[in-house]
Amino acid sequence: MVDLLHRGHESELEGEIVGVLSNHSKLSKLASWYGMPFKQVSIHQATKNDDIAKMSKAINTFNPDVIVLARYVQIILKDLCNQYKYKIINIHHSFLPSFAGANPYSSAAQCGVKLIGETCH
């Protein structure tokens, strides 16, 4: 996300970033520094469907042409994929299936992995 915001700020993207939506309130400072509107929606397992509906409403207020998921550590629900068909780009670290979980960088380093990458689909 930092890289995308920086590239947007430096006019290095062929588009405009219209806002930041996160389930982490701590990212509001970063969005603010870049002058980006920020919305926060927490995702909880017990209320996931309602939370996803709130997230969808927040996305719609930004009215994006493309949605880039960066550090979105959730399984994207089928309904959300259908709602934004052909509009979502998901960026995540390329550790699966070898290093699943919340901290794959640490797990990979402990196993001596020296080269890592990102997956985008």
Please report the domains of the chain, with CATH numbers, ordered by start residue: 2-120 (3.40.50.170)
Closest CA to 74 of 102, 54, 46: 102
The residues pairing with 118 across neighbouring beta strands, listed in sequence order, are: 93
Give per-residue pLDDT as tens, 66-104. Answer: 999 887 777 788 888 899 999 998 887 767 778 777 778
CA nearest 20: which of 8, 7, 38, 6?
38
Instruction: Give the whole-angstrom CA distance, residue 70 versus residue 120.
Output: 10
Task: Note the pTM of the prediction, 2 decimals.
Answer: 0.78
